Amino acid sequence: MPSDPTDGLLEWLGPILQGALVTLEIALLAYAIGLGLGLIGATARLSPWRPLRALGTAYSTLVRAIPELLLIILLYYAGSQALNALLAEFGGDTHIEISGFVTAVGVLAFVQGAYMTEVFRGAIQAIPRGQLEAADAYGFSRPTRFHRIVLPAMLPNALPGMSNLWLILVKDTALISVIGFEELFFTAQQAAASTRDYALFYAFAGALYLVMTLGSNALFARAERYVRRGQPST
């Protein structure tokens, strides 16, 4: 046990910053996949085809009603088991241990996608019908209509929700430490246990999360100005 707490902090600074980097990587990847899942989910929920709509609703309702930590633990086991069952089906008896990184990203993205579904659904529904009808009248194809009309018109509505979800995601990455994956908080816990300076290391980890969330707040504020560039200022 070091006599001076700053010694312990200096010693663990490298690994903790490394962990912060892993946390950011996980969050960014999960966010990107979550955005995709959210778009698919929103499309499903707004689809005229009933079974698809029911599927989208079931996904977003169930995932949002169950605690994240519980889902992460459930999906962690279910995901690795399902993948191994799939591999056993095709590749005989090759049992692979899925890397913690892939599981972490996958689980967080799955949860994120459900919340994103609702954000996108609301934003798309807020687009005036006339704009879509105009696009149809001009003979836009569905993909053109999506990226020329729907996307730019919905982004100003969706961005506050998207920014909220990003902040929730950054904070949810700490939950991954519960299943033993080495990210920022897990490393901080190890540091705290080995130096016995619990308060110091948890406060330090908290400060790093705060830097991440406050930093991304500034970025999202800029993004919001950008997507609102065509709108009258309020």
Q: Which residues bind other proteins (CB under 8 A)?
A: 57, 60-62, 64-71, 73-74, 77-78, 81, 118, 167, 171-175, 177-178, 185, 188-189, 192, 196, 198-200, 202-203, 205-206, 209-210, 213-214
In terms of CB distance, is 60 or 157 closer to other proteins?
60
CB of 136 to other proteins, least distance (A): 27
In terms of CB distance, is 135 or 182 closer to other proteins?
182
Beta carbons within 8 Å of 229's beta carbon, 6+ residues apart: none
CB of 74 to other proteins, least distance (A): 5
**Shortest CA distance to 184 belongs to which of 163, 217, 213?**
213
Query: How many of the other CB atoms lie within 10 Å of CB of 15?
Result: 15
In terms of CB distance, is 109 or 173 closer to other proteins?
173
Cα 170 to Cα 209: distance, rounded to the nearest angstrom: 8
Helix or strand (DSSP H, E) at 86:
helix 68-91
CB of 96 to other proteins, least distance (A): 18
Torsion of the alpha carbons at 46, 47, 53 and 58, rounded to the nearest 10: -50
- Given a contact cutoff of 8 angstroms between Cβ atoms, the answer to whether 174 and 206 are in contact is no
**Shortest CA distance to 78 belongs to which of 110, 47, 123, 49?**
110
CB of 22 to other proteins, least distance (A): 15
In terms of CB distance, is 78 or 134 closer to other proteins?
78
In terms of CB distance, is 152 or 160 closer to other proteins?
160
Q: Which amino acid appears at position 110 of this protein?
A: F
CB of 125 to other proteins, least distance (A): 11
